[in-house]
Structure 1
């Protein structure tokens, strides 16, 4: 109990310390921490200038973790990501020169601008927590989390992400503009040169691992477990749940990984609220983030202006707890 109390206080301190540098992105920080503590990866979408990079960089300092930002471009090569073999003239042997993927937190900026071979190398790192250089596999340091950004405005020169890779992201988080008060506070901070504030480290790797273990012990009732499964199946067989319009529009429902992600994320959200059990509200709060990038709509939905958000809203309305 004493350990839990200390860790809960440290999580509150992480939010507080990060908030000294980043204004108005509490939800984004919350989702990034959920991903980190449960071993998931996060896909971020938002226009430039919303402090995505600053948030992740600040979080890395507060968590005392290694951080690398990789700008994805059409000419990026797999070796630029994972590293390569170089010849050492003194020893006469080839040696491994590790790439920027060897860090705890990776920001893959504009991930959809890189070609397929680079995406394949990133997918191996995300899925296996390892990379292959030459003929050898190299384990990545733990914790390891990829946070990838997509720019929804400039789509020219982009490559669609493979569905298998998109599914590897635990959540897709839409980062929106700040409200007026938060934007005013941000302007004041920058104007007062508080940009130079260096955040203090709050958690270390051992404590991050301990929080992950505590999250695993959070209980979730069988009724809520079945609720998660019903939500998943409602995206695959919408007609059986009275979602006749959605049955016309959904090409593919969510994968089994969606249920696992929602299950783990709900437990983490309960832990952040200092509960040892999951509530229905935890699940409902996370469904959009977990499902929105996994539901694939057909061309008819696009023509009719239907969005995945509307589909998920209707699923939540139709699927009852204890169904």
Structure 2
């Protein structure tokens, strides 16, 4: 049940949010040293970090996806691993394996690169199903099994995966079960003309680029997550989230009869949870102690676009999941 505003000291909570969210500006300022534009991508990565949700980034090569993720890890002063997913990658290359020690006549565990805080799974849709399955356990359970032993992963643990558009050669669509584990899927677009001019001026030089300095610790991220949980969400906003998600499953309920034949599968209950969490994280980044319907609307596309599967009829008419979400958002009443 939602907490009533009468039982929450909004002024005290507002001061707490203002104080604990001050580091957001420090992160932006530091990242601006090496990244031009891409504020949308940076915002969504921070929401994923604050809401403890994995993020899937899709875009053609060369749009600073890898640079942005590695830069974020540097400013948080946390352990970072970049994993290049290829068709010949094995689960052991990801999680580790057992190695036989002849001298001791026993097996010892050699941990893999998954044992880090921020994982960049680069070109995840080029890897075979077994590797994706191994990554799935780590993402969902925050643990890894090697042999008969299960090892917990350090927190914060965040998978930021990049994928090339599925139409490209040598790529495979991710299984629905794996895609649903990502809190958000964000589409990265080309920079504007003025941004690209600035990128060219900065990067068209030989030698080392500017070095980034850590501005917060991993512990501060974990502390911020606890504060995000305290942000007030009114029952009307909660109901709005439910209305949006249920409209993807039963469009008729929201007078969207024309979408019934266009949606094959709607969003899972995980979508409601992630919409709630991501909206709270967005409010935190805005230094606010409460969630507005606008917080939900801003992140709804990113949380829902990979969870709605259009029918063959929709695909034949070139109707995408994004088109369906826009229709739903324009129809469902905003509180």
Q: Determine if the TM-score, normalized by the shorter chain, exceeds 0.5.
A: yes
In the alignment, is residue 68 of structure 1 matched against residue 78 of structure 2?
no
In the alignment, is residue 84 of structure 1 matched against residue 97 of structure 2?
yes
Residue in structure 1 matched with residue 282 of structure 2 by the alignment: 269
After superposition, what is the alpha-carbon deviation per residue over 1:110-152, rounded to whole angstroms, capped at 9, x for unaligned? 1111111111101000000011101111111100010111101
Contact 2:82 2:120 in 1 (8 A): yes
The alpha-carbon deviation at position 92 of structure 1 amounts to 2.5
Contact 1:47 1:153 in 2 (8 A): no
The secondary structure found in structure 1 opposite 2:61 is coil
Residue in structure 2 matched with residue 97 of structure 1 by the alignment: 110
Residue in structure 2 matched with residue 56 of structure 1 by the alignment: 69
The secondary structure found in structure 1 opposite 2:185 is strand
The alpha-carbon deviation at position 237 of structure 1 amounts to 0.5
After superposition, what is the alpha-carbon deviation per residue over 1:282-307, rounded to whole angstroms, capped at 9, x for unaligned? 11001100000000011111110101
Matches within 5 A, 1:23-62: 23-62=36-75
Residue in structure 1 matched with residue 271 of structure 2 by the alignment: 258
The alpha-carbon deviation at position 271 of structure 1 amounts to 0.7
Residue in structure 2 matched with residue 176 of structure 1 by the alignment: 189
Matches within 5 A, 1:105-184: 105-152=118-165, 155-184=168-197
Contact 2:166 2:173 in 1 (8 A): no
Residue in structure 2 matched with residue 215 of structure 1 by the alignment: 228
Distance in 2, matches of 1:199 and 1:3, equals 28
For structure 2, list consecutive stretches of 5 or more residues without a partner in the other structure. 1-11
Distance in 2, matches of 1:113 and 1:193, equals 31
Contact 2:117 2:154 in 1 (8 A): yes
For structure 1, list consecutive stretches of 5 or more residues without a partner in the other structure. none
The two structures, once aligned, show a CA RMSD in angstroms of 1.5
What is the TM-score of this pair, normalised by structure 1? Answer: 0.96
The alpha-carbon deviation at position 217 of structure 1 amounts to 0.5
Contact 1:42 1:148 in 2 (8 A): yes
Contact 1:45 1:150 in 2 (8 A): yes
The alpha-carbon deviation at position 34 of structure 1 amounts to 0.9
The secondary structure found in structure 1 opposite 2:261 is helix
Distance in 2, matches of 1:9 and 1:321, equals 30
Distance in 2, matches of 1:155 and 1:194, equals 32
The alpha-carbon deviation at position 197 of structure 1 amounts to 1.0
The secondary structure found in structure 2 opposite 1:239 is helix
Contact 2:305 2:321 in 1 (8 A): yes
Residue in structure 2 matched with residue 317 of structure 1 by the alignment: 330
The alpha-carbon deviation at position 191 of structure 1 amounts to 2.9
Distance in 2, matches of 1:37 and 1:90, equals 46
> Which stretch shifts more, 158-167 or 216-225?
158-167
Contact 1:83 1:96 in 2 (8 A): yes
The alpha-carbon deviation at position 154 of structure 1 amounts to 5.2
Aligned residues: 322
In the alignment, is residue 247 of structure 1 matched against residue 260 of structure 2?
yes
The alpha-carbon deviation at position 66 of structure 1 amounts to 0.8
Contact 2:17 2:289 in 1 (8 A): no
Distance in 1, matches of 2:70 and 2:103, equals 38
